[in-house]
Every structure is written in C-alpha cells, then in structure tokens.
C-alpha cells in the first residue's frame, strides 16, 4: 500500500511557499529490473521523488535543502532549457535538472542515478530515443564518479558493472556493455548470484537485445541453462 500526504514547503532558493505531495510509505511486489528499477507499487511513485518550485523552477527531493551551487545553476539558461525541454515530459525534465544540480555540486554518482530515473520516465512515455540518450549520459556520469571515487553501488561487488552493462546495452552500446560484463565476471569477490546476473546480461548483449529485463528472469528455465 502506498500512502501520500500533503505538506507545505518553502523553497530554499527563492522562498516561494507551496503544497507538495509527499510519499509517506510504499511497498513493492515482484522483481526489480536489471537496472534496479523497482516493481510496483514503488515503481509508480516517481512523481513524488523530486519536487519543482513553482516560483523559480528549483528541483530537489526536499525544496528547503539548498547547496551552495544550487541557486546559481537554477539561474542559468541551460537549466531553464532542460526544465522546459519539449522532447521529454515535465517529470523527466525534473530529474534531468536535478542531475544538473547534483553534477554542479560534485555529486556525480547521484547525478547518474537522476539521469537514469529520467530514462525510466521516458521508458514509460515510450520516448525511446530520449531514454537511450539519457542512459548514455548516465553511464558517462557514473564513469566520472568512479574516477572520483564515487561508486554507484559500492556495497555490491559486480553490481556496478552489471548496472553499467545494462544501461549500455539498452542504449545500443554493445561493445562497452560486453566489456562491463567481462569486468564484473573477472572480479574475485563477486557473488554467485551476481555472477548469474552478469552471465544473463552478457547473453542479452550478445543477442543485441535492447529490451527491459528483470532480475527474476535469471531464475527462468532458459536462464538456468546458460553456460557460465
């Protein structure tokens, strides 16, 4: 069950006050996708993951919380263009703007997740070209984050390689996707379950499959027959 409540918030950038829907609680039934997107009901709550100030366009999970770089980014023409981009839905644009703010603050892995969330919205909107572009941008941010010591999934050995492989595959970047799978499988500490996921992902890459697939598919009879 998902519970929602309304809360009056004040924008930390411009001081505008407004009422926003807040997610009280939710749950999920089923298997997440290979790129970590959760199943319903949590899957359907994305419109409450970030909020947009009606006064200045600032986008954040909590509008009152402002970092030193946020106000200057919100004032740029590039930020406004991203927020008003007619090639994507407003919700997707909000996640993109949130990514711009995170990137400016040096939070590169977080910015990568925001771009991925925007891609999920585009998936739902059947905006395939936009979703592919956002996945490529997410990969670039995750790679920059890795170089800066900011892992996307630091607690799961091989998890980051699996994530990047899935993003690259769905963006039709098959050679990088294959390389990510190989890198994950070469890790000595990767678990047996993550190994199975990486092998399954590699099979999708080799088949040039760009569709959405879930973790549960690894337990299917077809997947169980895959040779490691």
Give the pLDDT confidence of 41-96 residue by residue, as tens digits: 898 899 999 999 999 999 999 999 999 999 999 999 999 999 999 999 999 999 99
Does some domain include residue 202? yes
Give the model's pLDDT for residue 132: 98
Does some domain include residue 43? no
| Higher-scoring residue by pLDDT: 152, 1 | 152
Query: Helices in 32-127 by DSSP H: which ranges?
Result: 70-74, 77-83, 90-104, 108-124
Confidence band for 222, pLDDT divided at 50, 70 and 90: low
In sequence order, what DSSP letters do the residues of 103-116 get, joined into one string?
Answer: HHTT-HHHHHHHHH
Structure tokens belonging to residue 58: 């600032």
Name the residue range of residue 185's domain.
156-228
Helix 159-170, helix 128-147: angle, nearest 10: 150
Give the model's pLDDT for residue 226: 43
pLDDT in tens, 177-200: 999 999 999 999 999 999 999 999
Does some domain include residue 2? no
3-state secondary structure of 25: strand
Does some domain include residue 172? yes
Burial 202-225 (b: 16+ CB within 10 A, else e): bebbeeeeeeebbbeebeeeebee
Residue 211 gets which letter from DSSP? S
Give the model's pLDDT for residue 225: 41
Rounded Cα distance between 46 and 57, Å, is 18
Mean predicted confidence (pLDDT) in 3-14: 94
Total tally of structural domains belonging to the chain: 1
Does some domain include residue 130? no
Give the model's pLDDT for residue 223: 55
The pTM of this model reads 0.93
Does some domain include residue 48? no
Does some domain include residue 217? yes
Give the model's pLDDT for residue 224: 47
Does some domain include residue 192? yes
């Amino acid at each position: 069950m998902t519970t929602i409540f309304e809360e009056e918030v004040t924008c930390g950038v411009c001081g505008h006050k407004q009422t926003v829907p807040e997610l009280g609680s939710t749950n999920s039934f089923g298997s997440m996708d290979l790129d970590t997107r959760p199943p319903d009901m949590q899957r359907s709550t994305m419109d409450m993951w970030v909020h947009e100030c009606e006064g200045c366009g600032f986008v954040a999970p909590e509008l009152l919380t402002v970092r030193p770089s946020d106000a200057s980014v919100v004032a740029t023409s590039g930020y406004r263009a991203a927020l008003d981009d007619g090639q994507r839905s407003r919700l997707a644009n909000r996640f993109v703007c949130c990514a711009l703010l995170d990137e400016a603050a040096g939070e590169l892995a977080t910015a990568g997740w925001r771009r991925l969330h925007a891609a999920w919205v585009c998936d739902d909107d059947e905006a395939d070209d936009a979703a592919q572009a956002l996945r490529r941008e997410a990969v670039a941010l995750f790679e920059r984050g890795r170089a800066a010591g900011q892992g996307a999934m630091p607690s799961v050995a091989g998890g980051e390689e699996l994530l990047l492989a899935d993003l690259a595959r769905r963006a039709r970047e098959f050679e990088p996707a294959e390389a990510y799978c190989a890198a994950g499988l070469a890790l000595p500490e990767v678990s047996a379950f993550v190994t199975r996921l990486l092998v399954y992902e590699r099979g999708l890459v080799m088949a040039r499959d760009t569709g959405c697939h879930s973790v549960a598919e690894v337990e299917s009879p077809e997947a169980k027959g895959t040779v490691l």
